[in-house]
Each structure stands twice: as structure tokens, then as C-alpha cells.
């Protein structure tokens, strides 16, 4: 296992290096000169050249890349072209909205999806089993931003129980207000996420229910609950954890849309502004931090799977199936 | 087991009817729409009735006309993305499946990293690099989905290549291109078609998300996503504009998913009853 962790760690580092090269190159393909954002329309060529020089975009690409990696190595995400503020603290501030939003939605989605998915499989011949399955079919077809709009209309505009959007100016210094403003966004993400999770949990449970080992355990005199607890849970968890990792990562990054619906000052809105202003250090910083998070989540999911299922340990990445 | 098969064909029929209704709307919009898409003569935020079936939006444009154009854009987005995803994904997946050792590991890892990147984020980058048009959005979504298709194809092809009949074909001197055309593709297409149908639905949702963020097709040929974004501020005063595009969007995606489920059961009986 220790050997596996080392190999997987090396894979993580290589992926991170690869991802940062891709990120850097992809960004340089964006049309538009960031120096334009710094100078007024019709600026003299010397002014543009000076602006380019000041942000370093006149230097050769490999040199710019080396400079960026050097900064990263010392924990510096660079300085925004537009606001001249360091990117690191800004990303940190935005994470205080995006991380609680993602984690709360994730936990809520798991709490909904695991029992619901199990019931949808175990009670699939009853009306509520079929209903659960139908609701999850409906759920995966609902666009997350539209669900957000509907929830705002019902709970904020009509009911007036919760804020329609925004985040308190002082952030978590006003914990009650901050939490109130996250209730609807968390519910929005969790509902959409649990719809697809239910299908995976249901499918994994069906596999377990039809398995020979469960039948054997029952034949040897285990109660159903004990057989499920000892054998079923562990087997069903393996594919589900792999999906959970992907879902958590995509929620973190996909929060862009939900943050836009609810006007939340999170990582997503920082990225959107960065893209609109060609603010390379901001885009690079946000994408680097989120890529790192995605890779770490994948790392954790792979390790967790191999603790649960030793049969997977020969394989570098990914889970069952 | 006659009962499951009738139920499953019912799934397929339900899906075809639901998606077919919207396909019909899209087809008719090619020939005729009630009003010109940029005709603002209807008065702002008029309610349903009075010459406008569903009323008008905040600029006085006919809602039903926009819904019809939107359905066409949804189909264009879905079909375009899936075609790109299939072309790139199948090529990459087949190539990866035929390589071995570190090259295969690297390709698999690359596809895994790409998949971990959400479609929407990749799409935002591509759209920002080009411009906010339907073509950019379709290109971006197709590229992102090609990783998912590529990984699936790689796994499927590897499974086929491990079969005895491939060894037999090799020993009898059949060339690799003929093996791919004659044995590999026919064996993987049922699973592949089902997955592409699911990708079609996901592509429509992704395009709507991009349009909602203002990164999709520009007006007046607005997609459902942009219509919803424009109607958000007037949800309570003029609910038709904020509800109708969403309902059609959900209907179309459910219809396509039902078709995928029905196809899975018809083409791949082994998976019957799962999922």
C-alpha cells in the first residue's frame, strides 16, 4: 500500500506539471492583448510597449512560464494586471465562499442520495421505489441554473423567507446572515447532484443485491442487515467513491453557474471577471488552485478505494469498471 | 420475460414522443415562425393570449417564436457537440486501446485529467478565446465530451481485443484496419450509441448553461438558456418567460435520456434492469 501511495503521489505531481503547462499554453491562445486593458483607447505604441513591459508580456513565452513556475514554487500566485493586487489573497477570500458552498452541498447530496439510491434499488418493485427512480430521472434533466431561478422565485421573491442572492459585505463576520445566503445555493447544487448520485448508488446496490457473495452470506446464516453491512456496503462503496470524487471536483468548479445565479462572490465569479478582462494572473491563479483541488480529490478517492478494495491495488488510477 | 420487453419498448416510445414533439417544433421553425425573431411590436411583457400564444418578453418579442428558434438551437447544439465528441473520442479511444505500456497509461491519464475538468469550464475558456457564438459553444462542448467518449471507447475496445476471435482473426492474417471495421466497431456500437445519446442530452444542458452566462448564441436567435437569463428578473411578474423555456429544456433532455434507456434495453439485453 505504501508503494502504491508513492506511485500515485508521483502520478499526482506529473499531472500537476502537465496541467500547468496546458493551462499556460491554452491561456496564451486567448486573443486580445492584456496590455490593451491597461492603456486607454488610441494609446501611443510606446505606451502600449511600456504597459507590455510592465506586466512582462513582451518577454518570450518560455521565460514567462519559468517566471510563473518560480513564483508558484514560492507560494506566490502573481499580481493582477487590472487591480495590481496579489492574486493569492483574493483567491483565498473567494474560497471562503466557494469551499463551504461546495462541501455543504456535497454532504447534503450524499445524505439524500445514499438512502434514496438504496431504497430505489431495494424497493424497486414498490411504488415509492419507482417514484424515487422517476424523480432522479427528472432531476438529471433539470439545468442547475433554472432550479436556482425557481427556488429564488418560490422561497425568496414569493415567500420572502430567504435572500434572493448576494453575500454579506463582512462575509463570515456575520455568520447568521452568511449562512442564510448560502441556504438556497446549497440546496440547488445538492438537489441536482443527488439526482445523478441516486442513479449510481441504485446501480451499485442492484449489483450487490444480485451478487453470489451476498447469497452465500445469507445461506451461511447471516441476517440480511449483517450481510449488507459486512459485504454489501464495502463492495457498493468502491464505484460510488469514484463517482463521488468526480462529482465533488465538478461541483467545486461548476459552482460558476450557481454563483452567478445567486450573485455570490466566489471563485467562479472571480474566474468569469478574469476571463472577461484578459487578466492572465487571475485566470491562471484560479485555474491552478482549482486544478490542484481536483487532482487532490482524485488522489484521495483513489487511495480510499484501495483501502476498501485491495484487489484494485495493482492499478494506478481509477476505480472499478 | 415478456413483461420487461414491453415496458422497455414503452420507455423508447415515451422518449421518442417527448423528444419528437420538440423536434417537430424545431423543424417547423425552419419553415415558419409566428413572428420575426426581432419583431418587438408586441408590447413589453404582455401576458398570454391577444395574438401572442405565450405573451412577449421584456423587449416585446413573441415568446413562442423564441421558444421555437430555441428548440432548433438546442438540436444544433446537441447534434454538433456529439458529432465532434464521437469523431475525436472514437479515434483517440481506438488508438489508445491499441497501444500498450507507458503510452497507454499516459493517454488514459490524460483522458482522466480532461474528464475531471468540467465541460463548462473548458467551454468558458474556448468561448473566451474565440467569441460568444453557437459554433464556439458547440466546439467547446464537443471537445470536452470527446474525453468521456474516448475513455469509454478505450475500455470497450480493450475488452473486445482480449477476445479469442480477435486472436483467431490475427492468426488468419486479417489486417488491423479490417479487424477494427469488422469486429471491434460492430461489437462496441450498442454501448457507444447509448452513451452518445446521453451525451446529446448533456450537451444541450451545457449549451443552456453557457448561454445563461452570456457565452452562447447571441440574440435575436436566442437559445433557451439566454431566454431564461433574460427572464430571471421578471420571474414573478411574467412567469411564462421564465418557466416555458425551462420546461421545454427538461422535456427534451428527459426524452433523450428515455431514448438512451430504451436503446440500452433493446440493444444490450445483458444490462436490462440495471440503472
Contact B213 A260 (CB under 8 A): yes
Q: What is the CATH number of domain A87-316?
A: 1.10.3720.10
Examine residue B51 and state whether it is found in any structural domain, yes or no: no
> What Cα–Cα distance (Å) separates residue A45 from each residue in A42, A52, A82, A262?
9, 10, 19, 42
Q: How many domains does chain B have?
A: 1
Torsion (CA) A255, A258, A263, A268 in degrees, nearest 10: 20
- Give the mutation candidate from B158, B212, B242 for the A interface (greatest A CB count, under 10 A): B212
Tens digit of pLDDT for each residue in A248-302? 877 776 677 899 889 899 988 888 888 777 788 888 888 888 888 888 888 888 8
Compute the half-sphere exposure of residue A235: CA atoms within 13 Å on the CB side of its CA: 18
Per-residue pLDDT of chain B (275 residues; tens, 9 = 90+): 344 455 557 888 989 999 999 999 989 888 877 777 777 776 666 777 766 667 777 777 788 888 888 999 999 999 999 999 999 999 988 888 888 777 777 777 777 767 766 667 777 777 766 777 888 889 989 988 898 899 889 888 888 888 888 888 888 888 888 888 888 888 888 889 889 999 999 999 999 988 888 877 777 677 899 889 888 888 878 788 889 899 999 999 999 999 988 888 787 655 554 44
Q: Does any domain span residue B16?
A: yes
**Domain extents in chain A:** 2-73, 87-316
A42: distance to nearest CA of chain B, Å?
23
Report the C-alpha gap between A257 and A259 in whole angstroms: 5
Let me know if residue B53 belongs to a domain: no
Residue B127 domain-assigned? Answer: yes
Residues in chain B closer than 8 A to A137 (CB atoms): 254, 257-258
Record the pTM: 0.84
Range of the domain at B163: 2-30+62-274
Dump pLDDT digits (tens) for B34-69: 777 777 776 666 777 766 667 777 777 788 888 888
Asked if the Cβ–Cβ distance from A203 to B205 is below 8 Å, we say no
Inside any domain, residue B54 = no
**Which residue of chain A is at minimal alpha-carbon distance from B251?**
A141
Residue B38 lies inside a defined structural domain of this protein: no
CATH number reported for the structural domain that contains residue B157 in this entry: 1.10.3720.10
Per-residue confidence (pLDDT) for residue A56, from 0 to 100 = 74
Asked whether residue B177 is assigned to any structural domain, the reply reads: yes
Closest approach of B272 to chain A, Cα-based (Å): 12
The phi and psi torsions of B268 (rounded to 5 degrees) equal: -130, 75
Amino acid at each position: 500500500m505504501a508503494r502504491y501511495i508513492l506511485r500515485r503521489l508521483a502520478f499526482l505531481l506529473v499531472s500537476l506539471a502537465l496541467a500547468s503547462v496546458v493551462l499556460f499554453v491554452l491561456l496564451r491562445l486567448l486573443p486580445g492583448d492584456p496590455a490593451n486593458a491597461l492603456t486607454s483607447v488610441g494609446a501611443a505604441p510606446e505606451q502600449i510597449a511600456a504597459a507590455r513591459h510592465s506586466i512582462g508580456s513582451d518577454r518570450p513565452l518560455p521565460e514567462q512560464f519559468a517566471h510563473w513556475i518560480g513564483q508558484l514554487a514560492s507560494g506566490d500566485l502573481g499580481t493582477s494586471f487590472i487591480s495590481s493586487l496579489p492574486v493569492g489573497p483574493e483567491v483565498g477570500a473567494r474560497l471562503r465562499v466557494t469551499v463551504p458552498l461546495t462541501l455543504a452541498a456535497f454532504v447534503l447530496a450524499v445524505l439524500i442520495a445514499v438512502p434514496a439510491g438504496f431504497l430505489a434499488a431495494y424497493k424497486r418493485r414498490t411504488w415509492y421505489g419507482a417514484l424515487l427512480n422517476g424523480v432522479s430521472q427528472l432531476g438529471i434533466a433539470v439545468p442547475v441554473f433554472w432550479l436556482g431561478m425557481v427556488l429564488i422565485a418560490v422561497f425568496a421573491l414569493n415567500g420572502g423567507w430567504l435572500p434572493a442572492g448576494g453575500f454579506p459585505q463582512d462575509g463570515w463576520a456575520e455568520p447568521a446572515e452568511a449562512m442564510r445566503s448560502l441556504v438556497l445555493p446549497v440546496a440547488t447544487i445538492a438537489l441536482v447532484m443527488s439526482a445523478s448520485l441516486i442513479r449510481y448508488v441504485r446501480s451499485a446496490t442492484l449489483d450487490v443485491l444480485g451478487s453470489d457473495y451476498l447469497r452465500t452470506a445469507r445461506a451461511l446464516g447471516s441476517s440480511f442487515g449483517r450481510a449488507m453491512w459486512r459485504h454489501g456496503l464495502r463492495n457498493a462503496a468502491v464505484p460510488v467513491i469514484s463517482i463521488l470524487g468526480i462529482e465533488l471536483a465538478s461541483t467545486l468548479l461548476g459552482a460558476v453557474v450557481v454563483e452567478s445565479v445567486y450573485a455570490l462572490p466566489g471563485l467562479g465569479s472571480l474566474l468569469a471577471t478574469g476571463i472577461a478582462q484578459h487578466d492572465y494572473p487571475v485566470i491562471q491563479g484560479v485555474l491552478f488552485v482549482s486544478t490542484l483541488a481536483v487532482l487532490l480529490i482524485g488522489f484521495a478517492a483513489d487511495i480510499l478505494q484501495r483501502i476498501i478494495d485491495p484487489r484494485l491495488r495493482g492499478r494506478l488510477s481509477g476505480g472499478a469498471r | 420475460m415478456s413483461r420487461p420487453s414491453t415496458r422497455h419498448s414503452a420507455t423508447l416510445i415515451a422518449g421518442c414522443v417527448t423528444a419528437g414533439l420538440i423536434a417537430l417544433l424545431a423543424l417547423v421553425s425552419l419553415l415558419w415562425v409566428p413572428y420575426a425573431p426581432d419583431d418587438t411590436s408586441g408590447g413589453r411583457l404582455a401576458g398570454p393570449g391577444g395574438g401572442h400564444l405565450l405573451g412577449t418578453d421584456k423587449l416585446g418579442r413573441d415568446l413562442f417564436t423564441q421558444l421555437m428558434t430555441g428548440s432548433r438551437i438546442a438540436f444544433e447544439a446537441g447534434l454538433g457537440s456529439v458529432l465532434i465528441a464521437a469523431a475525436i473520442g472514437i479515434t483517440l479511444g481506438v488508438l489508445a486501446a491499441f497501444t500498450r505500456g507507458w503510452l497507454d497509461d499516459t493517454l488514459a491519464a490524460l483522458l482522466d485529467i480532461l474528464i475531471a475538468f468540467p465541460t463548462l469550464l473548458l467551454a468558458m475558456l474556448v468561448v473566451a478565446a474565440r467569441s460568444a457564438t453557437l459554433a464556439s459553444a458547440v466546439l467547446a462542448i464537443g471537445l470536452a465530451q470527446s474525453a468521456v467518449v474516448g475513455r469509454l471507447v478505450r475500455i470497450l475496445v480493450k475488452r473486445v481485443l482480449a477476445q479469442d476471435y480477435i486472436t483467431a482473426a490475427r492468426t488468419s492474417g486479417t489486417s488491423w484496419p479490417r479487424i477494427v471495421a469488422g469486429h471491434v466497431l460492430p461489437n462496441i456500437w450498442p454501448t457507444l450509441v447509448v452513451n452518445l445519446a446521453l451525451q446529446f442530452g448533456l450537451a444541450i444542458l451545457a449549451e443552456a448553461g453557457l448561454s445563461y452566462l452570456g457565452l452562447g448564441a447571441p440574440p435575436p436567435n436566442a437559445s433557451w438558456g439566454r431566454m431564461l437569463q433574460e427572464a430571471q428578473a421578471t420571474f414573478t411578474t411574467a412567469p411564462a418567460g421564465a418557466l416555458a423555456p425551462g420546461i421545454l429544456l427538461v422535456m427534451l433532455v428527459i426524452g433523450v435520456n428515455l431514448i438512451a434507456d430504451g436503446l440500452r434495453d433493446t440493444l444490450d439485453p445483458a444490462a436490462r434492469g440495471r440503472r
